[in-house]
């Protein structure tokens, strides 16, 4: 098995598509679906390197937002997704410039030499950036 994509339930599909295109370069449309009778619109977007994200907008969906990564762990289920990055500061700045909100600034991770940061997208979904320890 290999990983395929992450799915996010969103309130505003167009807002999230725009943010993730600017923030992460998710601009290629792999799939779109509209089910008006169910109040559902979906889109799967990807980058040329294969990273994919699915957005599902359903009318009447309820938001969930976590003040910090630990608050997310108090509710069972998925509460964040993580991306490995080569340059944490550059990726962090890129997401902030695209409209993300900082949750925790770049800092040392539990793994020696690794670093991480958490941000929120415009709807409050948590995203973790991880920079691996330098290879010696």
125 and 78 part of one domain: yes
In this structure, the number of other CB atoms found within 10 A of the CB of residue 118 comes to: 23
Q: Are 59 and 9 in contact (CB under 8 A)?
A: no
Question: According to the model, what pLDDT value does residue 76 have?
Answer: 72
76 and 126 part of one domain: yes
Question: According to the model, what pLDDT value does residue 2 have?
Answer: 85
Angstrom distance (rounded) from CA 68 to CA 122: 15
The CATH number given to whatever domain includes residue 33 is 3.10.180.10
Question: Percentage of the chain surpassing pLDDT 90?
Answer: 76
Long-range contacts of residues 102-111, Cβ cutoff 8 Å, at least 24 apart: 103/68, 103/69, 104/68, 104/69
Residue 21 above 80 pLDDT? yes
Which domain does 77 fall in, by range?
Answer: 71-131
How confident is residue 66, by pLDDT bands cut at 50, 70 and 90?
Answer: confident
Q: List the one residue out of 61, 80, 76 whose CA is nearest residue 120.
A: 80
Residue-wise pLDDT for 78-121, tens only, equals: 788 899 999 999 999 999 999 999 999 999 998 899 999 999 99
Domain count across the chain: 2
Q: Are 8 and 53 in contact (CB under 8 A)?
A: yes
77 and 126 part of one domain: yes
Question: According to the model, what pLDDT value does residue 33 have?
Answer: 95
Question: According to the model, what pLDDT value does residue 91 have?
Answer: 97
Residue 67 above 80 pLDDT? no
Q: Are 130 and 84 in contact (CB under 8 A)?
A: yes
136, part of any domain: no
């Amino acid at each position: 098995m290999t990983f395929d994509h992450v799915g996010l339930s969103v309130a505003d599909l167009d807002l999230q598509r725009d943010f993730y295109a600017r923030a992460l370069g998710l601009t290629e449309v792999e799939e779109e679906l509209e089910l008006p009778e169910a109040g559902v619109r979906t889109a799967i977007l990807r980058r040329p390197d294969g990273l994919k994200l699915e957005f599902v907008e359903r009318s009447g969906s309820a938001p969930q937002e976590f003040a910090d990564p630990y608050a997310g762990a108090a509710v069972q289920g998925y509460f964040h997704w993580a991306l490995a990055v080569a340059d944490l500061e550059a990726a962090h700045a890129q997401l902030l410039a695209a409209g993300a909100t900082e949750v925790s600034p770049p800092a040392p991770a539990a793994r020696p030499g690794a670093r991480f940061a958490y941000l929120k997208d415009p709807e409050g979904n948590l995203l973790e950036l991880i920079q691996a320890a330098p290879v010696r």
